[in-house]
Structure 1
Amino acid sequence: MSGLNAFQLLNGLTFAALLFIVASGFTLIFGLLRIVNLAHGALYLTGGYAGYALASLTGSFLLGVLGAMAAVAVIGFVLDQGLLRFVRGHELRQVLLTLGVAFLLNDLTLVIFGGDTYTMPTPEPLKGAVRFAGLFYPKYRLFVLALGVVVFIALWLLINKTRLGALIRAGVDDAETIAAMGINIRRIFLLTFLLGAALAGLGGAVGGAFLTLYPSADAEILVFSLAVVIIGGRGSLVGAAVGALIVGLLNTVGQVMFPEFAYFVIFGPMAAILAFRPLGLFGKAA
């Protein structure tokens, strides 16, 4: 029984790592830039399909991942510069616009890839299992866990220890002052948006290897990402990490112990947290 518990704990942690990769991009766009991007789940799924296609074509997992990030970043550029710049500051319009983009991307991927389920090809060194914590566990899931930690460290250093991160944080609070200093804050915000989109592509490519890719996967990952950001507090990277851990572990517990109430196990505690912390565990007033 203890082995089973350890196995489920690792499942929760690896799922949390994937959620963090996706939700970190969502938190950059929604939390820092104040852009309500409901197309984030569709970007995840599009990145997964792009990564699958490129990895299958070239036989390289790395090229598939990099190609997924680049493809979704390009879509993010078109979305931000071609559409979202006309509705900045209007959250309802952003919701409707990005929801429409999500439907468009879903229909395009459905036409191209059909309704079948696909699995991202994994490299030979990441196949099979390894003995870990007294049990055999898939190597690939441990790779995802390590990747989540690396992404967290890299983003934390970027936001808190670099000039770009300082400009992003300052620009969110007072964009007019930053612009008056001769800094192109719009370009910085665009780079941040592209980074958030690329992280969605990374999540899609990496997650496509063990969650698989199918037409409704975008809606599911978007719901989880929203829960992560709401629990952790929008704009907080640490909050996104803690929120991902909570959601990942609760999802695993819910599926094993209460399969009929799997979503309630997640959203029940989320409602309780928001009752006492309306801005989330680490959220701050705008």
Structure 2
Amino acid sequence: MDFATFLVQCLNAVQYGLLLFLLASGLTLIFGIMGVINLAHGSFYMIGAYMAFALAPVLGQHFVTMLLVGTVLAVAIGYVLEWAFFSFLYEREHLQQVLMTFGLILVFEELRALLFGNDVHGVQLPGWLAGSFSLAGLMSYPWYRIFASAACLVVALALYWVVNRTRLGMMVRAGASNRDMVRGLGIDIQRLYRIVFAMGVALAALAGMIAAPMSSVYPNMGSSVLIICFVVVVIGGIGSITGALLASLLVGFVDTFGKVFFQELSGMSIYLLMAIVLVWRPEGLMGKR
């Protein structure tokens, strides 16, 4: 492998890892704080992709504005879903949580079929993000992938600031460590849950909107990322945003270079990574015992 190809693969791995972080951070927030096994998290990724497809004819040339509008809509959707469905699951058994969230997957898929059909759609990029640039002579790299990596990095830094530097983040971290203590301190745990769930839905939908121009928009696209999200959460440690970032980048590099060097074993590379990490640290990279 020459240097140009190696550099391209590194950029692809970082971009894939940062996109995974948007998905996994929302899932680890919901799972770590609310204690809900949310199988419908992949559907929020699909909703974001279809929102990008629906908004592109109107705001396609203002791509950043489209992302902001879609994120606001996703926050509203998440807030309503938590109020209507998930608020009844906190004291239930995990089996009931799984059944409820799996039922939501079927509902979202049926709504998707009614609204958009079962065809594969594409999201056209605006002119300022189209094209590519020369990289190390003979190789070229798309501008949009650079934009996607930069957007994910900005969101990751903003999430880090919110979690570690704000009062809301203090409550989120406390809720991840000890939910009973948060209740005892007089914090409105119901309101905190709704904010956290809306944040998780918004992060997943934003990841879907960013990924839509690269991977197209197609039925059942959320199921393909759900398992990988759970792998990232387990490797990073449940409830840890920093662990989700480290695990996402690690999975991105292992998956990308596994497909380059070990094509026959590429399908099991990230699961082998998870097994190694769990043998070494059963609580994950940044998880607490």
Q: What TM-score does the superposition give when structure 1 sets the normalisation length?
A: 0.92
Query: Which is worse superposed, 70-79 or 85-94?
Result: 70-79
Contact 1:118/1:208 (<8 A) preserved: no
CA deviation vs aligned residue, 1:239-277 (integer Å, no higher than 9, x gap): 111111111112212333333432211111211211221
Using the alignment, how far apart are the partners of 1:259 and 1:116 within structure 2?
A: 30
Describe the SS at the equivalent of 1:208.
helix
Cα deviation, residue 2, structure 1 = 2.1
2:124 pairs with 1:121: yes
Change (3 A) 1:241 1:6: same
Cα deviation, residue 4, structure 1 = 1.4
The corresponding residue for 2:51 is 50
1:222 pairs with 199, 221, 226, which one?
226
The corresponding residue for 1:198 is 202
Q: Which amino acid aligns with 2:101?
A: T
Using the alignment, how far apart are the partners of 1:256 and 1:64 within structure 2?
A: 34
Using the alignment, how far apart are the partners of 1:178 and 1:10 within structure 2?
A: 41
1:232 pairs with 236, 251, 263, which one?
236
CA deviation vs aligned residue, 1:91-132 (integer Å, no higher than 9, x gap): 221122111101211121123222222222322211111235
The corresponding residue for 2:252 is 248
Q: What TM-score does the superposition give when structure 2 sets the normalisation length?
A: 0.91
Contact 2:237/2:243 (<8 A) preserved: yes
Contact 1:24/1:199 (<8 A) preserved: yes
Using the alignment, how far apart are the partners of 2:264 and 2:194 within structure 1?
A: 42
Aligned pair count reads 285
Change (3 A) 1:177 1:278: closer
The corresponding residue for 1:279 is 283
Percent identical pairs in the alignment equals 38
2:165 pairs with 1:161: yes
Cα deviation, residue 177, structure 1 = 4.2
Using the alignment, how far apart are the partners of 2:198 and 2:34 within structure 1?
A: 12
Contact 2:33/2:175 (<8 A) preserved: no
Cα deviation, residue 133, structure 1 = 5.9
Contact 2:122/2:213 (<8 A) preserved: yes
Contact 2:238/2:287 (<8 A) preserved: yes
Query: Which is worse superposed, 267-276 or 110-119?
Result: 110-119
The corresponding residue for 2:214 is 210
Q: Which amino acid aligns with 1:170?
A: A
Contact 1:48/1:208 (<8 A) preserved: yes
Q: Which amino acid aligns with 2:248?
A: A
The corresponding residue for 1:40 is 41
Contact 1:129/1:137 (<8 A) preserved: yes
Using the alignment, how far apart are the partners of 1:125 and 1:105 within structure 2?
A: 33
Contact 2:34/2:90 (<8 A) preserved: no
Using the alignment, how far apart are the partners of 1:173 and 1:228 within structure 2?
A: 19
Describe the SS at the equivalent of 1:214.
coil
Contact 1:228/1:240 (<8 A) preserved: yes
Contact 1:46/1:204 (<8 A) preserved: yes
CA deviation vs aligned residue, 1:15-37 (integer Å, no higher than 9, x gap): 11111111111111112332211
Using the alignment, how far apart are the partners of 2:251 and 2:183 within structure 1?
A: 38
Provide the alpha-carbon RMSD of the alignment.
1.9
Structure 1: stretches of 5+ with no match in the other structure: none
Report matched runs for 1:127-146 at 5 Å. 127-132=130-135, 135-146=139-150
- Please list every run of at least 4 consecutive aligned residues from structure 1 whose deviation after the TM superposition is greater than 4 angstroms: 132-135
The corresponding residue for 1:103 is 106
1:71 pairs with 63, 70, 73, which one?
73
Using the alignment, how far apart are the partners of 1:91 and 1:283 within structure 2?
A: 21
